[in-house]
Amino acid sequence: MSFFDFENIIDINTEFVIFGIPWDYLTSIKSPNSAIAPQKIREVTNDLALTTELGFKIPEFKVADIGDIRIIPKEVDMNLKEIYKNVASICKQNSKSVPIMIGGDHFCTFPVFKAIGDNFSEKKKIGVIIFDAHLDLYEEWDKGVYSHATVCHRIYDLEYMNNKNLMIIGTRDIDIPEIEIANAENITYLNSYLMSELGLKNYVDKIIDFFRTSGIEYLYVSIDIDAFDPSIAPGTGFAIPGGFTYRQFWKMLNIISDNFNIIGFDLVEVAPNLDLANKVTSNLAAKIIIEFISFISNK
């Protein structure tokens, strides 16, 4: 089945293109199975209502769900090329559509964003927000330079990325080598505890001000499910306490959508095999995706 029963054809009117990447070979622990998340998140939409919280009718959104990208789990270079090729094709079929990826582990973000960024004409105006409990800034981890623990470093290494257009939000589980890299490179990150210290408005203002100061008009947004508190998102490999609530996150996405043009987003690291029987984490993921679509569509 497709996400909320959307069609699988991209045409001139398509505003959003959903696709899955069923791949978690580059995760650092064995317990989660995020490779099954794209289909499991699609499945829960069969039981969700067909209006958004603000009352918009979901079947009226111009969305295509083109299914999953073909993955051969251990063929890393081949998979990166296949993901890049597929996302670049989406960009070329309809340059105004917003690609939406459902992962998979967080490294899936790298080839997706690279394809979007490489094919975007105004690279100097692109920014990236990573919502994550971790910095994911390791130079290498486990299998090498490609890992979900290195994804932010690989994004930062792209020629059009720098410390003025990359921001990591929701951090609260940072290793010493990562914080040393962040400090040395002056990479900006917002710890999640500051939400309670500053309040939601001031917290989001810091995000808006950071990108506006850098002249950013377009944002790619990557959402690791562990940015949420594990009390509402237990189905993930790293259940780190102190994350965002659904309502805090919903409001942040709403404000960000009002202030910037979203050129793509993803949601990764859901592990349905670690979820509760009521599928609360998959439900949360599906709700976040459709509400974000609504914010962007009705900007």
For range 13-31, the mean pLDDT? 95
Beta strands in 63-197 (DSSP E): 63-68, 98-103, 126-131, 166-171, 188-191
- Could you tell me how far CA 194 lies from the centroid of its own chain? 21
Selecting from 2.40.50.140, 3.40.800.10, 3.40.50.300, 3.30.499.10, what CATH number does the domain 3-297 have?
Answer: 3.40.800.10
Q: 297: Cβ–Cβ under 8 A, 6 or more apart, which residues?
A: 15, 16, 56, 61, 62
CA distance 130 to 110: 11
Q: 66: Cβ–Cβ under 8 A, 6 or more apart, which residues?
A: 8, 10, 17, 18, 19, 90
The tens digit of pLDDT for each residue in 82-131 reads 999 999 999 999 889 999 999 999 999 999 999 999 999 999 999 999 99
The tens digit of pLDDT for each residue in 57-87 reads 999 999 999 999 999 999 999 999 999 999 9
The tens digit of pLDDT for each residue in 222-256 reads 999 999 999 999 999 999 999 999 999 999 999 99
Question: CA dist 162 to 46, 187, 211, 222, 269, Å?
Answer: 41, 8, 12, 17, 25
Among 265, 295, 293, which Cα is nearest to 131's? 265
pLDDT at position 299 = 83
Q: What is the DSSP string of 45-80?
A: GGGS-SB-TT--BGGGS-EEEEEEPP--TT-HHHHH
pLDDT at position 28 = 86
Q: Are 261 and 97 in contact (CB under 8 A)?
A: no
Q: 87: Cβ–Cβ under 8 A, 6 or more apart, which residues?
A: 19, 99, 101, 111, 112, 115, 116
CA distance 127 to 207: 11
